[in-house]
């Protein structure tokens, strides 16, 4: 009986192909320092600028109880209330109406309110925070809207919130879709590179959309040793069974 040389060749090719499609640390690991990965420059952090329909929380601090009572919510003893920014970019608060805050940072809004409210209480201090900060994730990951619980939320902290990226995602081309005053921008980067730390891709802003495309390896990819063995042994067993049947019937 002739040896099934062609069968051995087929099996070898299958094994090589599957090995090449396995997901390794090089393809899915974070904070890598390989020279073959993109190297990103450090960038200065830009404060978020308010947009239409954002909701800000204002806290008034003053010894004037009458002024403080006006801004005090009946269910909140910390003298805070939330105000939505109208489509025209303005916001209304007690004593001040139609105040333009569009494209301003929270710090700029705080200073503007303190200046204008100082006529009512010279000692007044204003604290402003964003009440509607969320980001969105779509693609090959846990999809949905997630809260931004701090001002400088990093991409890795965002990963912890939405449950990490699937191994079948394209780690080399993560995209962030961001609305800015000049229009929509799309930032694409390789999240495996350690150099993204403190780069323009490092921080997540309110209303950001993180898009994770599918890897080209997804169809053939295997993400565990047991699944790899199953994929390898099944076609080999089937091929050997067919070959034995052919030899028996000769």
User: pLDDT for 39-60, tens place per residue?
Assistant: 999 999 999 999 999 999 988 8
pLDDT higher than 60, residue 11: no
Instruction: Say if CB 212 and CB 170 are below 8 A apart.
Output: yes
Angle at 151 between CA 150 and CA 156, to 5 degrees: 70
The sign of the torsion formed by the CA atoms of 31, 32, 36, 39 equals: positive
Whether the pTM exceeds 0.75: the reply is: no
202 vs 207: CA distance, rounded Å: 15
pLDDT higher than 80, residue 15: no
Question: Where do we find the tokens 């006006």?
Answer: 70
- The lowest-confidence range among 34-48, 78-92, 166-180, 218-232 is 218-232
Half-sphere exposure of residue 170: CA atoms within 13 angstroms, side-chain side: 16
pLDDT at 66: 82
């Amino acid at each position: 009986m002739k040896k099934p040389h062609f069968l051995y060749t087929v099996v070898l090719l299958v094994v090589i192909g599957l090995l090449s499609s396995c997901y390794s640390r090089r393809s899915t690991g974070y904070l890598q320092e390989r020279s073959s990965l993109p190297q990103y420059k450090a960038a200065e952090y830009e404060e978020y600028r308010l947009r239409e329909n954002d909701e800000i929380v204002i806290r008034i601090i003053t010894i004037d109880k009458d002024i403080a009572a006006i801004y005090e919510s009946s269910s909140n003893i910390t003298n805070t209330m939330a105000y939505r920014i109208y489509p025209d970019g303005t916001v209304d608060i007690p004593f001040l109406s139609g105040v333009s805050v569009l494209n301003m940072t929270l710090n700029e809004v705080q200073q503007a309110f303190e200046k204008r409210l100082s006529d009512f209480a010279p000692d007044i201090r204003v604290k402003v925070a964003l009440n509607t900060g969320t980001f969105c994730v779509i693609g090959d990951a846990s999809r949905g809207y997630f809260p931004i619980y701090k001002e400088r939320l990093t991409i890795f902290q965002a990963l912890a919130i939405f449950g990490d990226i699937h191994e079948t995602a394209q780690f080399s081309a993560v995209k962030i879709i961001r609305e800015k005053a000049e229009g929509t921008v799309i930032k694409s980067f390789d999240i495996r590179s350690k150099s993204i730390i403190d780069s323009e891709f490092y921080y997540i802003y309110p209303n950001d959309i993180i898009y994770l495309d599918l890897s080209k390896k997804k169809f053939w990819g295997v993400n565990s040793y047991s699944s790899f063995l199953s994929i390898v042994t099944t076609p080999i067993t089937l091929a050997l069974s067919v070959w034995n049947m052919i030899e028996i019937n000769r």
